[in-house]
Amino acid sequence: MRIVHAIVTVFVFVLLQMLVSPKIAIGDIAPDFILLLVAYFAIQRKPQRAAVAGFVIGLGQDLFNPELLGLNALTKSLVGYGFGLVGSKAEQDHPLLLMALLGVAAVAHDFVYLLFFSGLHLGKFIILWTTVSIPSALYTALTGLVVYKIAATLGSKAVRTLGKARS
């Protein structure tokens, strides 16, 4: 039953990324639902398992952009591991803390991603990071909080297990 729940959750977040994210984007600024998926998974699992999940999810995302194959896998696995370490110890019921953690995860993800994406060109990196990544991280964090509250209201099993014993 856990595998079915995981597959359905991944499917829902991929649909949110494909269908909702472009509709609610403000120019180039859009929430990253795939990153939220990795972050939510990391809260529920040990850091090592979250890193593996981040790698698999990121690799799936990379298949749609073969020029940068492996970059999303790298960044999502780093976020999974890091968020699994920090997020598991934090009180997830505090909305501002959860939002801050999601924002930091998004900023860290984009920092690593853009270093490679920009070809280590410092000027291009700074422009993209300040004009797109930081606003997108804020949008992702706010969206993540809204998704969390909706899931909590609906009584999602994933939300009910946050902060409890991790497998």
Do residues 114 and 125 lie in contact, with contact meaning Cβ atoms separated by under 8 Å?
Answer: yes
pLDDT at position 166: 47
pTM metric for this prediction: 0.84
* HEC-encoded secondary structure of the chain: CHHHHHHHHHHHHHHHHHHHHHHHCECCECCCHHHHHHHHHHHHCCHHHHHHHHHHHHHHHHCCCHHHCCHHHHHHHHHHHHHHHHHCCCCCCCHHHHHHHHHHHHHHHHHHHHHHHCCCCHHHHHHHHHHHHHHHHHHHHHHHHHHHHHHHHCCCHHHHCCCCCCC
State the pLDDT at residue 38: 93
Report the pLDDT value the prediction gives residue 26, as an integer from 0 to 100: 93
What is the reported pLDDT for 9? Answer: 85
Q: 2-160 architecture in CATH?
A: Orthogonal Bundle (1.10)
Question: Are the beta carbons of 103 and 145 closer than 8 angstroms?
Answer: no
Which residue has tokens 């370490």?
A: 85
Q: Round to whole Å and give the CA distance between 46 and 30.
A: 28
Q: What is the pLDDT of residue 92?
A: 58
Asked if 81 contacts 116 with a C-beta cutoff of 8 angstroms, the reply is no
Summarize pLDDT for 119-136 with one digit per residue, the tens. 888 899 999 989 999 999
Domain boundaries, the chain: 2-160
Residue numbers in the chain where pLDDT is lower than 50 = 159-160, 162-167
Packing angle of the helix pair 33-44, 47-62 (nearest 10 deg): 160
